[in-house]
Amino acid sequence: MPLTYGSAGTSNSVDTLTAVEGFVSLVKVTSENTVDAWGTVKLPSGDFQSLRLKELSVEIAETSFNGVPVFSDTSHSISYTWIAKNVLTLVSIGAPENVTDPNFTEAATFIWSTDNNINTIEGLSDHSVPGDFILEQNYPNPFNMSTRIRFSLPLNTDVRLIVYNILGQRVATLADGNFARGRHVITWDGHNTRGNSLSSGIYIYRLTAGGFVSSRKMVLVK
């Protein structure tokens, strides 16, 4: 069903992340989506009639060790995405973690169709359309300075790529917006959402795209 002004809906996802033997993390995400505005977005490439999609998400991470609960954390996120008639994400911004004011004035994430975000989201030159969703192993792995994460989409869809530590705590959001079908690569420099360098250890990156959810482990070495 195409998006229209006033459209609203709720999505839920549950994912189990196994980092190391004995540790199991359960991540539950509930998102409320509302098309709350429409108008003209002006970019250097032209003017676009667009809808604005507001997403309010609650993420609950629960970690157990050998079946015994050891950690629970709840985080909130707010983001706005401007989508043109051809279902192209023009601009997407997200508030800092746990900001609950929808009128936030500081953006922690920013995606612009002609000036990609700080984690270097790149469209690959291979324009062939993948037949399925694919999340590849990052390379290099282990890594020190930076690593590249590749994924493939068979259709245009909303994408979330999030990095967790072994306790299931979210440490970085690498992508959160609508992506075109095709192959994509994101370069991550080992910093968290606040720009701080993370310590050595095992991390898990999780891709959510449409109804597809997949996770992989990576090792940061300092």
Q: How many CB atoms lie within 10 A of CB 198?
A: 16
Within-domain flag for 2: no
Within-domain flag for 82: yes
- Residues 137-158: pLDDT tens digits? 998 888 888 899 999 888 888 8
pTM of the shown model = 0.61
- Residues 154-188: pLDDT tens digits? 888 889 899 998 878 889 999 888 888 888 889 99
Residue 118 lies in domain: 8-220
Confidence class for position 1, pLDDT limits 50, 70, 90: very low
CA distances from 20 to 6, 63, 139, 219 (A): 44, 12, 20, 12
Within-domain flag for 195: yes
- Residues 15-59: pLDDT tens digits? 776 656 677 777 788 888 899 999 888 876 678 888 898 988 888
Within-domain flag for 87: yes
CATH label of the domain that carries residue 169: 2.60.40.4070
Within-domain flag for 1: no
Contact 23, 221 (CB under 8 A): no
User: Would you say residue 98 has pLDDT above 90?
Assistant: no
Within-domain flag for 3: no
Within-domain flag for 64: yes
Residue type, 105: T
> Which of 163, 189, 194, 150 lies closest to 27 in space, CA to CA?
163
Asked whether the CA dihedral 74, 80, 85, 89 is positive or negative, the reply is negative
Within-domain flag for 46: yes
Q: How many folded domains does the chain comprise?
A: 1
Residue with tokens 């990576």: 218
Q: Which residues pair with 162 in a beta bridge?
A: 173, 206
User: Would you say residue 87 has pLDDT above 60?
Assistant: no
User: Would you say residue 122 has pLDDT above 70?
Assistant: no
